[in-house]
Amino acid sequence: MIYKMHIVSKKITCKDAVLEITNQRVIFWEAQKSLILSDLHIGKAAHFQKSGIPIPKNVLTTDLERLKQLILHFKAENLIIVGDLFHAAYNKDLDEFKAWLIQFPYIKIRLIKGNHDRLSNAIYQQFNMEVFKTELTINSLKFVHDGVEKPTNSFIISGHIHPGVFIKGRGKQRIKLPCFQVTENQLILPAFSLFTGLNTRQSLQKCKNFAFTNDGIFEV
């Protein structure tokens, strides 16, 4: 079954880089033909299933179908993954990811390691990706997995905390939505995988929250 996706984007400027945040949990950086994303947690579903926790079998398949549609939509040539691409030890989910990658031989993948990316170097080499231990800097953007840093000449892009925000619904109802958290010096990405929780604690000062739904992006 094909995952139906409606892609909405909004351009913002971070230092001298024009980035398109999307309602599909990724950023497109047109100047670099790159999709920027975080926290796919490949292997998490299989890890939980192995432990006897009833997780739907199509969790990873859906995430990868979403990523495929985004690559094709934006005509991306690069993936910059800001940590936690993987979740646990090698399991069947990683075999599915390896098979999925075959359709994109032209895609260059750069991974900045997250706290869950604990596979051996030999396994990373199987996926033909460039791995960075703590950070990657491209022009004015610095990519790290976690940590709010003091202002520098670079603009920090990170992930890890799976940011979310509450918005008011009807009456006393409150709705929790994923968001991008943006300050003058840093942007925190939402988790790409749909199989993640949301952290609604504000982690940055003077922060704009760009929440999103299937139909749009709005600042709250």
pLDDT over 90, % of the chain: 61
Is residue 1 situated within a structural domain?
Answer: no
pLDDT at position 2: 61
| DSSP string over the chain | -PPP----EEEEEETTEEEEEETTS-EEEGGGTEEEE----BTHHHHHHHTT----TTHHHHHHHHHHHHHHHHT--EEEE-S-SB-SSS-HHHHHHHHHHTT-TT-EEEEE--TT----HHHHHHTT-EEESSEEEETTEEEESS------SSEEEE-SS-BEEEEE-STT-EEEEEEEEE-SSEEEPPPSSSS---B-S--SSS-EEEEE-SS-EEE-
CATH code assigned at 172 = 3.60.21
User: Does the pLDDT value for residue 91 go beyond 90?
Assistant: no
Is residue 63 situated within a structural domain?
Answer: yes
Its domain, for residue 19, covers 9-219
Is residue 4 situated within a structural domain?
Answer: no
Tally of domains within the chain: 1
Q: Which residue has the higher pLDDT, 202 or 94?
A: 94
Is residue 155 situated within a structural domain?
Answer: yes
Q: Encode pLDDT of 24-36 as tens digits.
A: 999 999 999 999 9
Q: Which residue has the higher pLDDT, 88 or 216?
A: 216
Is residue 34 situated within a structural domain?
Answer: yes
Q: Which residue has the higher pLDDT, 147 or 181?
A: 181
Mean pLDDT over each residue of the chain, to the nearest integer: 88
Is residue 115 situated within a structural domain?
Answer: yes
Is residue 3 situated within a structural domain?
Answer: no
Is residue 33 situated within a structural domain?
Answer: yes
Model's pTM, two decimal places? 0.91
pLDDT at position 115: 85
Average pLDDT over residues 165-185: 87
